[in-house]
Amino acid sequence: MKKFIGKYWFTITASLILTAMAMREAYRTRGYFAIGGEIFIPFILILLRIEIPAILDFFKEVAYYGTTDTTAAEERTGDYTAILGQNTKRFNGTDRAEDGGDA
């Protein structure tokens, strides 16, 4: 936990400040205290802070290997179905009755 806080201290601090500001503005708008969607600001900002590098890596990989070039995927893994994570017969719509799908 200390490692997580140390790594994301700025995001945590900024999200708590933004949440306090949003709650104050929501109180002014509503005229009474209530907890609404503004309570999710810390969770959303921390999630974005953690996931943005993974999302950027994904887009870099797509840009490098391309979306239709299966030979590059086969060269890396030996089989592009490992990347897709599913049965190719089901993926391309053939033999769907074999696995219990619609015929």
Q: pLDDT for 3-12, tens place per residue? A: 888 888 888 8
Place of tokens 């870099």: 60
Stated pTM of the model:
0.49
Confidence of residue 78 (pLDDT cuts 50, 70, 90): low
Give the integer Cα–Cα distance in Å for 17 and 23. Answer: 10
Contact partners, residue 36, CB within 8 Å, separation at least 6: 26
* Structure confidence by residue, pLDDT tens digits, 82-95: 555 544 444 445 54
* Structure confidence by residue, pLDDT tens digits, 12-35: 899 999 999 999 999 999 989 888
